[in-house]
Amino acid sequence: MHAHSPAAVVIPVRSLEGAKSRLGAVLDAEERRELVERLLRRTIAAALATEGAGRVVVVSPDPEVLAVAAAAGAEGLRQLSAGLNPGLVEARNALAGEGIVRLIVLPGDLPAVTAEGLAALLREADALTTPLVVLAPDRHGRGTNALLLEPACIIEPDFGGDSRFAHARLAAAAGAAYREVAHDALALDIDTPDDLLLAEALHPEVLLAG
């Protein structure tokens, strides 16, 4: 049954160099680079530990990102297009061509991400009939911090801005079952100095080396 087929987890990362520029007021370029790499390794580890997840793929145009991904146990996919959503489409198409039915898009900047948080998405999907879209909103209620699609092509990824509402609209237009999963492990992402301060308070290990 497709409802219980292993999910491929796709983690998009733009680059290490010049990453997280909005944190420039509180972290220098090297600190931001180290943070992005550390978060990516944590994200890959959580995905690899998730029951019900199979392949873990990092899509990026940056060879350094792909090298980090490989060292952490993930597959790397060199992005040929420009932009987050086009990169996700590239990954989706490549995986669909290999028979992947269930896809999780997982940003690489969630400091609290855990296998249990991802398992919550999968449990929700298992309770639905396909086609389906399951989404974990960010703490502000506007963004998308994880997106599960089955089949993988049921909607186009539309990250950026108010992506939670965009994905909900796309799911409705596609006739897909739509659910949201609120989970502490998936609620916080790091984009702004305020996000970083909250991460420091709740998850200080994120900023520790190693």
Which CATH number belongs to the domain containing residue 97 in this structure? 3.90.550.10
In a domain, residue 209? The reply is no
Question: CA 150: distance to chain centroid?
Answer: 16
Q: Tell me the pTM.
A: 0.94
Q: Are 183 and 114 in contact (CB under 8 A)?
A: no
In a domain, residue 177? The reply is yes
In a domain, residue 84? The reply is yes
For 127-157, how does the pLDDT look when each residue is reduced to its tens digit (9 = 90+)? 999 999 999 999 999 999 999 999 999 999 9
As a whole number, the mean pLDDT across the chain is: 93
In a domain, residue 127? The reply is yes
**What is the reported pLDDT for 207?**
65
**What is the reported pLDDT for 4?**
64
Most distant pair of Cα atoms in the chain: their distance = 50
In a domain, residue 73? The reply is yes
Distance between CA 115 and CA 118 in Å, rounded?
Answer: 5
In a domain, residue 208? The reply is no
For 83-135, how does the pLDDT look when each residue is reduced to its tens digit (9 = 90+)? 999 999 999 999 998 999 999 999 999 999 999 999 999 999 999 999 999 99
What's the average model confidence in pLDDT over 6-12?
Answer: 96
In a domain, residue 131? The reply is yes
**DSSP output for 116-156:** HHHHHHHHHHHTSPSSEEEEEE-TTSSSEEEEEEESTTSS-
In a domain, residue 207? The reply is no
For 38-73, how does the pLDDT look when each residue is reduced to its tens digit (9 = 90+)? 999 999 999 999 999 999 999 999 999 999 999 999
Number of structural domains the chain divides into: 1
Which residues constitute the domain of residue 43? 2-202
